[in-house]
């Protein structure tokens, strides 16, 4: 078996204003990095369009209708100060959701070792009823619910190493004992959530905030002490990674100083945990990462490690 990669040209069609950090060039940078011959063994598939009904796994109808109503016929619309929509944005988001759900199907069918989904827009800031932080719908949350509904998974772990706290994923699963949400992130930083004492109604939220200018040493210590221990206690049936690469030292939106080896190391540790608890079922979803060089090299390190599974 090998690692599967889902992506699609449609991910270029979510258009943001000039100078916006979440831009189509991000996905191009990932494609260019994964064009290296070392990635020839990847099983590459086009991201399928998702079933709109699956959005309801994580978001109520009024949120979905509100997002659709803000899709413009032409040009670019502002959903909030940071978040934009263009004419194809809903269709683009459906392909991101479809790819994530297909990835879940793949690892439960054991047709591949694991899956990386190179999609945009990201999703982890989208709360139950609020699109924000470049995110319209919470792809990781929808994929977790899909695993439960389609495959009978009892416990899902979502590990989020994006430099910004995934307030949306935390919001959706705050009172859900069946989903463990773990996050490393810079604090203070947008969106202002993610303190250690935010633990959810059932203790299934585990935050590991980092300080500005922390390096891989502090990241790895937090990861071992708070994230890996929580996963081992929870024993998930599936591990979903919200793989943001904006904690890289080159990234302009934060002040954490990770390097490619840190993402390689974290990927390996999560794969080890998945081997112990959930038959190696790992689905990784691209979140942030806004310096193109840092995004490309970090994604390459992450996927290369996935391919060793």
Decide: helix, strand or coil at residue 205. strand
Q: Are the CB atoms for 35 and 27 separated by under 8 Å?
A: no
Integer angstrom CA distances of residue 123 from 140, 154, 256: 7, 23, 21
Tokens 């049936």: give the residue: 237
Structure tokens at 230: 């929580």
**Phi, psi dihedrals of residue 50, rounded to the nearest 5°:** -80, 160
Catalytic residue among 14, 95, 125, 165: 125
Active site residue 302: no
Tokens 């004419």: give the residue: 87
Q: Which residues are catalytic?
A: 125
């Amino acid at each position: 078996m090998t690692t599967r990669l889902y992506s699609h040209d449609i991910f270029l069609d979510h258009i943001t204003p000039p100078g916006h950090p979440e831009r189509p060039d991000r996905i191009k940078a990932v494609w260019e990095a994964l064009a290296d011959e070392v990635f020839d063994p990847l099983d590459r598939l086009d991201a399928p369009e998702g079933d709109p009904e699956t959005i309801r796994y994580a978001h109520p109808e009024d949120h979905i209708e509100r997002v659709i109503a803000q899709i413009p016929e032409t040009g670019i619309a502002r959903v909030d100060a940071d978040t934009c929509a263009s004419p194809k944005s809903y269709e683009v988001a459906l392909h991101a959701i479809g790819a994530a759900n297909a990835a879940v199907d793949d690892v439960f069918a054991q047709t591949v070792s694991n899956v990386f989904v190179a999609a945009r827009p990201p999703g982890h800031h989208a709360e139950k009823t609020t699109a924000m932080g470049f995110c319209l719908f919470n792809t990781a949350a929808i994929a977790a619910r899909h695993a439960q509904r389609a495959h009978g998974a009892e416990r899902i772990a979502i590990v989020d190493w994006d430099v910004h706290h995934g307030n949306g994923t935390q919001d959706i699963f705050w009172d859900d004992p069946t989903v463990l949400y773990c996050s490393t992130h810079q604090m203070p930083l947008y969106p202002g959530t993610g303190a250690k004492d935010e633990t959810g109604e059932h203790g299934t939220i585990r935050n590991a905030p980092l300080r500005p200018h922390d390096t891989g040493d502090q990241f790895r210590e937090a990861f071992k002490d708070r994230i890996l221990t929580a996963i081992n206690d929870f024993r998930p049936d599936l591990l979903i990674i919200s793989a943001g690469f904006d904690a890289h030292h080159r990234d302009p939106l934060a002040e954490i100083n990770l390097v490619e080896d840190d993402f390689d190391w974290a990927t390996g540790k999560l794969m080890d945990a998945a081997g112990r608890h959930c038959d190696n079922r790992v689905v990784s979803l691209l979140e942030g990462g806004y310096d193109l060089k840092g995004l490309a090299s970090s994604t390459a390190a992450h996927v290369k490690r996935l391919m060793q599974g």
